[in-house]
Structure 1
Amino acid sequence: MHAIRLHAFGPAENLTYEQVEDPVPGPGQVRVAVAAAGVHLLDTALREGMQGPLPELPALPTVPGREVAGTVDALGDGVDPSWLGKAVVAHLGFAPGGYAELAVTDAARLHEIPGTLDPAQAVAMIGTGRTALGIAQFADLGPGSVAVIPAAAGGVGTLLVQYAKNAGATVVGLAGGPDKTARVEANGADLAVDYTDPGWPGKVRAFLGGRPATVVFDGVGGDVARETVALLGPGGRHLVFGWSAEGIRDGKAYLVDGVSEQVLGPAMLARAGGPDPLRTLELRALAEAAAGRLTPAVQRFPLAEAAAAHRALQTRRTTGKVVLEP
Structure 2
Amino acid sequence: MHAVVLHAFGPAENLRYETVPDPVPGPGQVRIAVKAAGVHLVETILRSGRAGESLPPQPELPTIFGGEVAGRVDEVGPGVDPSWIGRDVVTAYGKPGGYAELAVADVTSVHPITIGYETAVAMVVTGVTALQFLDVADLIPSDVVLVTSAAGGIGRLLIQYARGLGAKVVGAAGGPAKVAAVRELGADIAVDYDQPSWAESVAEELGGRTVTALLDGVGGDKARTAFELLADGGRYVTIGNASQQDFLPDPQTVKERDLTVTNALMLLLSEPNTRPQYEVRALAAAAEGTLTPAVQTFPLARAAAAHAALETRATTGKVVLVP
Query: TM-score when scaled to structure 1?
Result: 0.93
- Find the counterpart in structure 2 of residue 102 from structure 1: 102
Give the 4+ runs in structure 1 shifted more than 6 A.
Answer: none
- Find the counterpart in structure 2 of residue 37 from structure 1: 37
> Root-mean-square deviation (CA), in Å?
1.6
- Find the counterpart in structure 2 of residue 185 from structure 1: 183
Cα distance change on mapping 1:268 and 1:310 into 2, 3 Å = closer
- Find the counterpart in structure 1 of residue 169 from structure 2: 171
| SS of 1:156 mapped into structure 2 | helix
Q: State whether residues 33 and 71 of structure 2, in contact with CA within 8 Å, keep that contact through their aligned partners in structure 1.
A: yes
Cα distance change on mapping 1:112 and 1:256 into 2, 3 Å = farther
Cα distance change on mapping 1:179 and 1:312 into 2, 3 Å = same
d(CA) in 2 for partners of 1:11, 1:302: 19
Cα distance change on mapping 1:262 and 1:2 into 2, 3 Å = same
- Find the counterpart in structure 2 of residue 48 from structure 1: 48
| SS of 1:137 mapped into structure 2 | helix
1:87 partnered with 2:88: yes
CA offset at residue 81 of structure 1? 2.1
Cα displacement string for residues 172-195 of structure 1 (whole angstroms, at most 9, x for unaligned residues) = 000101100000000111111011
Cα displacement string for residues 86-115 of structure 1 (whole angstroms, at most 9, x for unaligned residues) = 10000017x5521000001111110111x2
Equivalent residue in structure 1 for 2:151, among 126, 133, 153: 153
Amino acid at match of 1:176: G
Amino acid at match of 2:142: G
Q: State whether residues 96 and 104 of structure 2, in contact with CA within 8 Å, keep that contact through their aligned partners in structure 1.
A: no
d(CA) in 2 for partners of 1:10, 1:269: 28
d(CA) in 2 for partners of 1:225, 1:140: 20
Q: Greater CA deviation, 45-54 or 297-306?
A: 45-54
d(CA) in 2 for partners of 1:121, 1:147: 25
Cα distance change on mapping 1:266 and 1:193 into 2, 3 Å = closer
- 1:11-30 aligned at under 5 Å gives the runs 11-30=11-30
Query: TM-score when scaled to structure 2?
Result: 0.94
d(CA) in 1 for partners of 2:6, 2:73: 25
CA offset at residue 253 of structure 1? 4.1
Q: State whether residues 71 and 90 of structure 2, in contact with CA within 8 Å, keep that contact through their aligned partners in structure 1.
A: yes
CA offset at residue 255 of structure 1? 3.2
CA offset at residue 141 of structure 1? 2.1
CA offset at residue 267 of structure 1? 5.2
d(CA) in 2 for partners of 1:216, 1:157: 12
d(CA) in 2 for partners of 1:200, 1:266: 30
Q: State whether residues 96 and 103 of structure 2, in contact with CA within 8 Å, keep that contact through their aligned partners in structure 1.
A: no
d(CA) in 2 for partners of 1:268, 1:210: 37
- 1:269-284 aligned at under 5 Å gives the runs 276-284=273-281
- Find the counterpart in structure 1 of residue 298 from structure 2: 301
d(CA) in 2 for partners of 1:149, 1:179: 17
Amino acid at match of 1:65: G
Gaps of 5+ in 1: none
CA offset at residue 54 of structure 1? 5.2
d(CA) in 2 for partners of 1:226, 1:54: 23
| SS of 1:74 mapped into structure 2 | strand
1:237 partnered with 2:235: yes
CA offset at residue 61 of structure 1? 1.1
Q: State whether residues 242 and 253 of structure 1, in contact with CA within 8 Å, keep that contact through their aligned partners in structure 2.
A: no
